[in-house]
Amino acid sequence: MSENSQFTKNSVEPYYGYSIPINEFFRCALSVDCTIIGYDKGDLKILLIKRGAEPFKGQWALPGDLMYPYENLDQAAERVLSHLTGLEDVYMDQVKVFGEVNRHPVGRVITVGYYSLVNIQDYKPKASAWAHQLDWHLVDELPELAFDHNQIVTAALTVLKERIWKDEIGFELLPEKFTLGQIQALWETILQEKFDKANFRKKLLSSQSLIPLNENQQNVSHRPAKLYALCNKDK
């Protein structure tokens, strides 16, 4: 039971027999919070902002915003991401809704968690009034975040793990041209698991989702690897 509500469970009847004025229901705000995941030299990172205003002023948080009256949730999430990174057409998806009564001190704010995968090389930081400071943080060294944002990150990473094999995502975290070794290292980082090199590449190549390029790695102190590109997804 929330302290910021004068209504108790016993005072209400369900549906069309509302014991409180209908207007009392229209007092929620919706927000989106984005877990923006990047990959850099073998490490998974999350883009965080330092909050410039109360509540949780000075604390790190996921970039997010209230949903405006004219937009739907997906649009709000895309707006947050594009304002922050300047990137458009980035992979994004819903994770889960977080609706605990007291999760936001200012009022009843229900948030929808999103996650997106960006290639850190493409990312151009755009500091702005609402994001005084923003930085990539190592995924296993996250500070304590504002609100329930640590929970949102955890849920986002779980969803990513579940979807990586099935939907063949994750390539968004790599440059356009990549080697099989890079994919393997990335998936091993995400799934926290080691794979046999030979078996991994057999499986990946048989999936028909990679295009082999006529190009090799350069300036590496070992046999240069063949570069691949992602097939335009048909499914």
Partner DNA sequence: TCAAAAGTGTTATAGGTACACCCATGT
Partner DNA sequence: ACATGGGTGTACCTATAACACTTTTGA
Interacting stretch for a second copy, rule CB under 8 A, among 96-104, 133-141, 194-202, 227-235? 96-104
Does the protein bind DNA through residue 198 (CB under 7 A)?
A: yes
What is the C-alpha R_g of the chain? 21
The site map against a second copy for 57-86 (x = CB under 8 A) is --------xxxxxxxxxx----xx--x---
Q: Which of 75, 181, 231, 233 binds DNA (CB under 7 A)?
A: 181
Q: Is the CB of 154 or the CB of 184 nearer to DNA?
A: 184
What's the angle, vertex CA 78, arms to CA 137 and CA 126, rounded to 5?
Answer: 50
Residue 158 carries which side chain, given as an amino acid letter? T
Does the protein bind DNA through residue 225 (CB under 7 A)?
A: yes
- Picking from 210, 163, 158, the residue whose alpha carbon sits closest to that of residue 183 is 210
Give 76-98 as a DSSP string.
Answer: HHHHHHHHHH---S-EEEEEEEE
Does the protein bind a second copy through residue 184 (CB under 8 A)?
A: no
Q: Is the CB of 10 or the CB of 219 nearer to DNA?
A: 219
What is the length of the chain?
A: 235
Site for a second copy in 118-147 (CB under 8 A): 128-131
Burial 95-127 (b: 16+ CB within 10 A, else e): bbebeeeeebeeebbbbbbbbbbbbbeebeeee
Q: Least distance (Å) from DNA to the CB of residue 41?
A: 12
Burial 205-231 (b: 16+ CB within 10 A, else e): eeeebbeeeeeebeeeeeeeeebbebe
Q: Is the CB of 11 or the CB of 219 nearer to DNA?
A: 219
Task: Say which residues have a Cβ less than 8 Å from residue 65's Cβ, sequence separation at least 6.
Answer: 31, 32, 76, 79, 80, 130
Structure tokens at 150: 């640590």
Q: Is the CB of 119 or the CB of 182 nearer to DNA?
A: 182
Binder of residue 176, out of a second copy, DNA, none (CB less than 5 to 8 A by kind)? none
Q: Least distance (Å) from DNA to the CB of residue 165?
A: 9
Binding site for DNA (CB under 7 A): 179-182, 195-199, 201-203, 216, 219-226
Binding site for a second copy (CB under 8 A): 1-2, 5, 7-9, 12-18, 20, 24-30, 52-53, 65-74, 79-80, 83, 94, 96-97, 99-101, 107-108, 110, 112, 128-131
